[in-house]
């Protein structure tokens, strides 16, 4: 085992004997693992203990913080001011948006839409925001909007300067990049507990949690945009005697602006996908109703606020996306139109009353629930069969396997597997993560989460690869698939839980289905892009040598797209983990549930905090295994989700 | 030497770690491959010296990788030279502070780039005015100046277009206008027409010749195209592997290449279009009549053909009012034939004829 990857990596010729050895090594290791499992089964299994000493220690730490919150200088002069400032910002947005009244806010949205992309976007904005009122979600939507805007504003204020610095200085980039990597593989649940510890529950900590999730795309895309500014233009500016600041202000920033606008778009999308999660830490808004309804498996009541978030997402996405596509339009026409729409909206507020009129609202909860119960009643044969097959055929055996194997054996197996795929360094990091998880007293729950992730990820990667290969090989299939994938990527991530719950009720399988819907589009797209990136001349050469389509795929396209395929697998797994954790909201249990319980119940705080850390470790482990020897290739592709 | 517009002495540019230690050490004598193998450094410009006279068009010519683009960037320290001296208008550029250097770039030297380097988000007018804008010139004044320059380069009516709405040739006119707008003493051209179609390129070369006649700026022109160099350059420096192999007028390069490299370069140039009568004139034979047409010694051979057709007598070649030799029809035909045949034989023959003349 020790010699295998080194030999495989080195191009020097080895003797035939050694080659034979290398070829049989993976199989030998697999056999060894099986033998060890049979021999050591049910030893060193680390069963779950709700009352582990680590959890109690963390609870004590929490108690200490609670006692000293208003006396310790760290809190008194730093954290508490931060909390108050962020809360103030949220209140400011909330007051301003509420003050506009619904006609005023719709008018502002229409004006921004007009400014960004003409009348089409203005109509989308009006329809989207009016839809919020019609669904009876106006007040909650305003809260969600205020929270999202505060978090996005903070993300941009902090993220864009960091991005500019990272784009200009390789040494800053070297520091920032790995931090962002970890931030992006951290499941969102994992930082709720520490944030609550520092900032208590409420809008302030919700804004900060949202910001942590939303800031990486702002930084990454800004850095990329600044880096990509044509060096010729920069040189031309310098040759005319521009100072650094002049070149930055007049050349780099304007030329990077369109790309940065895309970064804003991604930042908003990320912020909106946090809406239901921050409801767990007492953020007002659409998430509150959604979480409550999910807990009661009331699909209709959950779907309505879900649709609300999607509407906000669509409006903000269209506005920022069309702002990112530059086109020459008369400034006077743009700003006049903007002013007219905004003034019209604001002027209508006193006429139409600031609250959305009740007679215009419609109730769709009951019809939805009727449909859901019809589905439950009529499709149960099918959904129940699927559910049971996966549960008894895949989940339970795998979970039994992982929880009955000694922890050291699993760690060694992961080490070997990661070593084979991504090299020794990655293998050691992955194994190290598992050791730390064992030390966190959360081994069993982590294995349960891992079980769901592995099953979901395998299905996701297979389905995504099949779709991606299909799209790369058939033009019409790609034409059908593209818009579907585009639409899927605009949606906030949790919205995929809702159809899954409607079909399959609560449980692990629902989390698997949701992560499928969430991650398959990204995997499919990465696979398709990778296959399409294979140069046409190579394909032509292979065809002219008489390859069949199948040979072309297996001998040319797939090997040449190896790094894209690895990236696709990596993204698929990281996204699956994120979704499976959120799946705790619909009964997927395990680590995700520990985090939720930790926030809502005093005595479980320590366990929740540890579970958050375990999730980060699990994320790093899964990421390293699939990172590939060449490391991450394209930072752009990283954040498609 | 305060009279030179640009004066370069012993200029070096070495890319790589600890580059400054190489100059003056034995390593500096190594060729590029050996230097890279030994030190990891690449010498782009090696010990280059030349002078450019005020109002001259000085062409630096070489193949890609010869260091010519690095050289021109070293003149205003867009690339910081590793060693040597650069003086522009008698002022030492290498000793300038950042602020002084900015002043130099803002007012005295401007540059035209191969890939134009236009700002895509600004109108043509604002692109041209960019240099004035960063100097702090007020909007009305800089727009007025920019309009004037745009009409000078033949782009009236395109002020409000965006660069991507113009053809490549027009975009480079904008680049040229931007460089001219700050009214510099020196214009640097870094392969400005390489990215253009051949026909457009010819127009743009004519444009540069015209502008030079009209505004009389000192110009340093980088190119890899020999015919462009011969057309524009009053003097041409040929670069190879970072060093200047030969500096001279087009006639000197074609007539007396310093080494095989230069000879190979100019091999296919039709000599009769570049060389003057001075290069083929000979002492008259004793019985030759000396009452033929008279032409100055710097007449290009090709241009002497009408005179030879008009009269059967040998042409009298004169310089400063004195007879330096004669050229008859056979001499002319020989020179024209040599120019078109190409190849080493011709080169040897030509060398023979110049030797004869001496």
Contact B102 A243 (CB under 8 A): yes
Nearest CA in chain A to B106: A241
Contact A236 B117 (CB under 8 A): yes
> What pLDDT digit, counting tens, does each position of A178-234 carry?
888 888 777 777 788 888 888 888 888 889 989 988 899 899 889 988 988 888 899
CA–CA dist A516, A524 (Å, integer): 11
Instruction: Tally the C-alpha atoms within 13 A of residue B217's C-alpha that lie toward its C-beta.
Output: 24
Nearest CA in chain A to B117: A233
Optimal mutation site among A231, A241, A258, interface B, most CBs of chain B within 10 A? A241
Residues of B in contact with A257 (CB under 8 A): 121
Interval B22-40 mean pLDDT: 81
H/E stretch holding B85: strand B83-88
Answer whether residue B251 shows pLDDT above 90: no
Please give the CATH number for the structural domain made up of B54-85+92-266.
3.40.50.300
Contact B118 A236 (CB under 8 A): yes
Task: Report how far Cα B68 is from the mean position of its chain's Cα atoms.
Answer: 11
Q: Is A12 in the same domain as A62?
A: no
Q: Is A28 in the same domain as A45?
A: no
Q: Tell me the nearest-neighbour CA distance from A38 into chain B, angstroms.
A: 56
Is A463 a domain residue?
yes
Amino acid B340: pLDDT: 55
By percentage, how much of chain B surpasses pLDDT 90? 27
Residues of B in contact with A236 (CB under 8 A): 111, 113, 116-118, 175, 178
Burial A456-478 (b: 16+ CB within 10 A, else e): bbebbbebbbebbbbbbbeeeeb
Q: How do strand B91-92 and strand B243-248 relate by DSSP bridges?
A: unpaired
Is A54 a domain residue?
yes
Tell me which residues of chain B have a C-beta less than 8 Å from any C-beta of chain A: 76, 78, 101-107, 110-111, 113-122, 130-131, 133-135, 162, 175, 178, 182, 188
CA–CA dist B190, B71 (Å, integer): 10
Mapped onto helix, strand or coil, the DSSP state of residue B236 is strand
> What pLDDT digit, counting tens, does each position of B133-170 carry?
988 899 999 999 999 999 888 888 898 988 888 988 89
> What pLDDT digit, counting tens, does each position of A509-565 carry?
888 888 888 888 888 888 888 888 888 778 778 777 777 888 888 888 888 888 788
Residue B123 CB neighbours (<10 A): 18
The Cα-based distances of A409 to A22, A406, A512, B249 in angstroms read: 22, 5, 26, 81
Contact B131 A326 (CB under 8 A): no
- Residue ranges making up the domain that contains A22: 4-32
Residues of A in contact with B117 (CB under 8 A): 230, 232-233, 235-237
Amino acid A327: pLDDT: 59
CA–CA dist B195, B169 (Å, integer): 9
Tokens of B274: 């570049």
The Cα-based distances of B328 to B254, B287, B305, B308 in angstroms read: 22, 13, 10, 7
Is A143 a domain residue?
no
Mapped onto helix, strand or coil, the DSSP state of residue B218 is strand
Q: Is A28 in the same domain as A58?
A: no
Low-confidence ranges of chain A (pLDDT < 70): 1-16, 326-330, 354, 489-490, 628-641
Give the domain ranges of chain B. 54-85+92-266, 271-357
A228 reaches B (C-beta below 8 A): no
Residues of B in contact with A233 (CB under 8 A): 117-119
Tally of structural domains, chain A: 2
CA–CA dist A521, A466 (Å, integer): 11
- CATH code where residue A593 lies: 1.10.3720.10
CA–CA dist B149, B301 (Å, integer): 38
Is A556 a domain residue?
yes
Which residues are bridge partners to B221 per DSSP?
Answer: B59, B189
Pair B326, B282: CB distance under 8 Å: yes
Interval B170-184 mean pLDDT: 91
Tokens of A392: 């008894």
- Among the listed residues B8, B13, B17, the one whose alpha carbon sits nearest the alpha carbon of residue B28: B13
CA–CA dist A136, A126 (Å, integer): 16
Contact A254 B121 (CB under 8 A): yes
CA–CA dist B178, B174 (Å, integer): 6
Contact B134 A237 (CB under 8 A): yes
CA–CA dist A355, A96 (Å, integer): 14
CA–CA dist A393, B63 (Å, integer): 69
The position carrying tokens 């991005």 is A163
Amino acid B239: pLDDT: 92
Nearest CA in chain B to A245: B134
Residue B89 CB neighbours (<10 A): 18
Cβ burial of A490 (10 Å; 0-12, 13-18, 19+) is: middle
By percentage, how much of chain A surpasses pLDDT 70? 93
The Cα-based distances of A21 to A31, A59, B129, B251 in angstroms read: 15, 52, 71, 72
Phi, psi of B104 (to 5 degrees): -60, -45
CA–CA dist B272, B266 (Å, integer): 13
Which residues are bridge partners to B222 per DSSP?
Answer: B60, B190
DSSP string across A199-257: H-SSHHHHHHHHHHHHHHHHHHHHHHHHHTS-HHHHHHHHHTT--HHHHIIIIIHHHHH
Nearest CA in chain B to A247: B134
Instruction: Tally the C-alpha atoms within 13 A of residue B125's C-alpha that lie toward its C-beta.
Output: 15
Is A451 a domain residue?
yes
Terminal Cα-to-Cα distance of chain B (whole angstroms) = 32
Contact B105 A239 (CB under 8 A): yes
A244 reaches B (C-beta below 8 A): no
Contact B119 A255 (CB under 8 A): yes
Is A146 a domain residue?
no
The Cα-based distances of A495 to A279, A293, A306, A638, B58 in angstroms read: 15, 13, 6, 21, 68
Amino acid B356: pLDDT: 41
Is A89 a domain residue?
no
Neighbouring residues of B200: CB distance < 8 A, sequence distance ≥ 6: B167, B168, B169, B193
CA–CA dist A87, A79 (Å, integer): 12
Contact A232 B78 (CB under 8 A): no
Contact B130 A237 (CB under 8 A): yes
- Is ipTM > 0.90 here? no
Contact A233 B119 (CB under 8 A): yes
Task: Report how far Cα A602 is from the mean position of its chain's Cα atoms.
Answer: 28
Question: Mind spelling out the 3-state secondary structure of A365-400?
Answer: HHHHHHHHHHHHHHHHHHHHHHHHHHHHHHHHHHHH
Is A516 a domain residue?
yes
Optimal mutation site among A239, A248, A251, A261, interface B, most CBs of chain B within 10 A? A239
DSSP string across B310-336: H-SSPEEEEETTEEEEEE-HHHHHHHH
> What pLDDT digit, counting tens, does each position of B292-326 carry?
888 888 888 888 888 888 888 888 888 888 888 88
Q: Is A28 in the same domain as A50?
A: no
Cβ burial of A392 (10 Å; 0-12, 13-18, 19+) is: exposed
**Dihedral sign computed on CA atoms, order B290, B295, B300, B306:** negative
pTM over 0.90: no
Amino acid B354: pLDDT: 44
Phi, psi of A587 (to 5 degrees): 90, 20
Alpha helices in B240-280 (DSSP H): 250-255, 260-266, 271-274
Neighbouring residues of A402: CB distance < 8 A, sequence distance ≥ 6: A410, A447, A448, A450, A451
Mapped onto helix, strand or coil, the DSSP state of residue B66 is coil
Neighbouring residues of B356: CB distance < 8 A, sequence distance ≥ 6: B282
Interval B177-193 mean pLDDT: 91
Q: Tell me the nearest-neighbour CA distance from A246 into chain B, angstroms.
A: 7
Question: Residues A87, A90, A95, A98: what is their CA dihedral angle, to the nearest 10 degrees?
Answer: -140
Q: Is A519 in the same domain as A496?
A: yes
Contact B78 A238 (CB under 8 A): yes
A23 reaches B (C-beta below 8 A): no
The Cα-based distances of A387 to A446, A468, A636 in angstroms read: 22, 26, 36
Amino acid B53: pLDDT: 92
Nearest CA in chain B to A233: B117
Cross-chain CB nearest to A239 (options B110, B114, B118): B110
Tokens of B45: 């410009």
Q: So what's the architecture of B271-357 in CATH?
A: Alpha-Beta Complex (3.90)
- Window 249-268 of A, Cβ < 8 Å to B: 250-251, 254-255, 257
Nearest CA in chain B to A258: B121
């Amino acid at each position: 085992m020790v010699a295998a990857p080194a030999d495989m990596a080195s191009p020097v010729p080895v003797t035939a004997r050694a080659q034979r050895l290398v070829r049989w090594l993976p199989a030998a290791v697999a056999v060894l693992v099986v033998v060890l499992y049979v021999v050591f089964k049910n030893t060193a299994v680390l069963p779950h203990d709700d009352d582990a000493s680590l959890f109690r220690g963390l609870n004590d730490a929490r108690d200490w913080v609670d006692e000293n919150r208003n006396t310790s200088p760290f809190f008194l002069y730093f954290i508490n001011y931060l909390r108050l400032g962020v809360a103030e910002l949220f209140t400011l947005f909330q007051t301003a948006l509420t003050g506009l009244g619904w006609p005023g806010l719709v008018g502002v949205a229409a004006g921004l839409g007009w400014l960004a992309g003409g009348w089409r976007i203005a109509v989308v904005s009006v329809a989207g925001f009016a839809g919020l009122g019609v669904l009876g979600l106006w007040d909650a939507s305003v809260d969600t909007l205020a929270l999202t805007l505060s978090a996005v504003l903070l993300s941009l204020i902090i993220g864009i300067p960091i991005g500019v610095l990272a784009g200009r200085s390789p040494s800053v980039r070297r520091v920032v990049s790995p931090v962002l990597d970890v931030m992006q593989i951290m499941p969102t649940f994992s930082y709720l507990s520490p944030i609550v510890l520092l900032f208590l529950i409420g809008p302030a900590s919700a804004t900060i949690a949202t910001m942590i999730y939303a800031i990486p795309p702002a930084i990454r895309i800004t850095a990329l945009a600044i880096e990509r500014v044509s060096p010729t233009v920069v040189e031309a500016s310098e040759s005319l005697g521009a100072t650094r600041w002049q070149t930055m202000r007049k050349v780099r920033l304007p030329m990077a602006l369109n790309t940065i606008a895309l970064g804003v778009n991604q930042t908003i999308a990320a912020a909106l996908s946090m809406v239901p999660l921050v409801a767990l830490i007492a953020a007002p808004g659409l998430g509150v109703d959604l979480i409550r309804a999910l807990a009661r498996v009331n699909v209709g009541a959950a779907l309505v606020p879900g649709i609300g978030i999607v509407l906000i997402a669509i409006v903000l996405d269209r506005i920022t996306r069309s702002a990112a596509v530059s086109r020459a339009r008369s400034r006077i026409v743009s700003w006049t139109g903007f002013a007219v729409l905004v003034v019209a909206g604001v002027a209508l507020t006193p006429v139409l009353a600031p609250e959305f009129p009740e007679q215009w609202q419609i109730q769709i909860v009951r019809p939805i629930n009727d449909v859901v119960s019809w589905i439950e009643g009529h499709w149960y044969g099918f959904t129940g069969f699927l559910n049971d097959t996966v549960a008894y055929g895949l989940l339970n055996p795998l979970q039994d396997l992982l929880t009955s194997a000694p922890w050291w054996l699993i760690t060694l197996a992961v080490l070997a597997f990661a070593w084979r795929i991504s090299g020794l360094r990655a293998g050691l990091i992955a194994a190290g993560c598992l050791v730390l998880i064992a030390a966190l007293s959360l081994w069993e729950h982590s294995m349960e989460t891992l079980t769901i992730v592995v099953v979901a990820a395998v299905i996701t990667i297979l389905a995504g690869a099949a779709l991606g290969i299909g799209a790369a090989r058939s033009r019409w299939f790609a034409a059908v698939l593209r818009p579907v994938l585009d639409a899927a990527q605009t949606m906030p991530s949790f919205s995929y839980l809702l159809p899954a719950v409607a079909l399959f009720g609560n449980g692990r399988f629902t989390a698997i289905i949701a992560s499928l819907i969430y991650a398959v589009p990204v995997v499919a797209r990465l696979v398709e892009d990778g296959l399409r990136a294979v140069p046409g001349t190579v394909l032509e050469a292979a065809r002219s040598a008489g390859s069949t389509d199948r040979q072309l795929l297996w001998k040319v396209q797939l090997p040449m797209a190896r790094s894209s395929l690895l990236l696709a697998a990596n993204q698929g797994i990281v996204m699956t983990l994120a979704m499976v954790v959120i799946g705790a909201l619909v009964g997927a249990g395990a680590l995700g549930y520990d985090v939720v319980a930790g926030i809502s119940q005093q005595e479980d705080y320590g366990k929740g905090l540890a579970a958050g850390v375990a999730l980060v470790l699990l994320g790093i482990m899964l990421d390293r295994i699939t990172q590939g020897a060449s490391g991450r290739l394209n930072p752009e592709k990283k954040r498609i989700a | 030497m305060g009279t030179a517009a640009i004066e370069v002495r012993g200029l070096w540019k070495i890319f790589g770690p600890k580059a400054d230690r190489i100059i003056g050490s034995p390593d500096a004598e190594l060729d590029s491959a050996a230097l890279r193998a030994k030190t990891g450094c690449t010498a782009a410009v090696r010990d280059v010296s030349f002078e450019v006279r005020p109002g001259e068009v000085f062409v630096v010519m070489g193949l890609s990788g010869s260091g010519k683009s690095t050289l021109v960037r070293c003149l205003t320290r867009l690339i910081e030279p590793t060693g040597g001296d650069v003086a522009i208008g008698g002022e030492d550029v290498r000793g300038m502070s950042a602020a002084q250097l900015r002043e130099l770039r803002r007012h005295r030297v401007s540059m035209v780039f191969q890939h134009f380097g236009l700002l895509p988000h600004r109108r043509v007018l604002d692109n041209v005015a960019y240099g004035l804008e960063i100097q702090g010139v007020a909007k009305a004044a800089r727009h007025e100046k920019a309009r004037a320059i745009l009409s000078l380069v033949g782009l009236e009516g395109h002020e409000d277009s965006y660069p991507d709405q113009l053809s490549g040739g027009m975009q480079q006119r904008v680049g040229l206008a931007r460089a001219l707008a700050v009214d510099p003493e020196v214009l640097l051209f870094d392969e400005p027409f390489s990215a253009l179609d051949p026909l457009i390129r010819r127009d743009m070369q004519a444009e540069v010749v015209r502008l030079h006649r009209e505004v009389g700026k000192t110009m340093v022109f980088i190119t890899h195209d020999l015919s462009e160099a011969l057309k524009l350059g009053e003097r041409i420096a040929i670069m190879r592997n970072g060093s200047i192999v030969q500096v001279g007028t087009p006639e000197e390069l074609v007539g007396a290449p310093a080494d095989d490299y230069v000879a190979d370069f100019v091999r296919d140039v039709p000599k009769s279009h570049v060389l003057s009568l001075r290069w083929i004139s000979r002492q008259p034979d004793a019985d030759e009549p000396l009452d033929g047409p008279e032409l100055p010694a710097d007449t290009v051979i090709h241009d002497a053909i009408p005179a030879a057709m008009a009269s059967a007598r040998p042409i009298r070649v004169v310089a400063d009012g004195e007879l330096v030799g004669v050229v008859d029809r056979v001499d002319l035909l020989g020179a024209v034939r040599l120019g078109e045949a190409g190849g080493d034989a011709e080169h040897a023959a030509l060398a023979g004829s110049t030797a004869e003349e001496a």
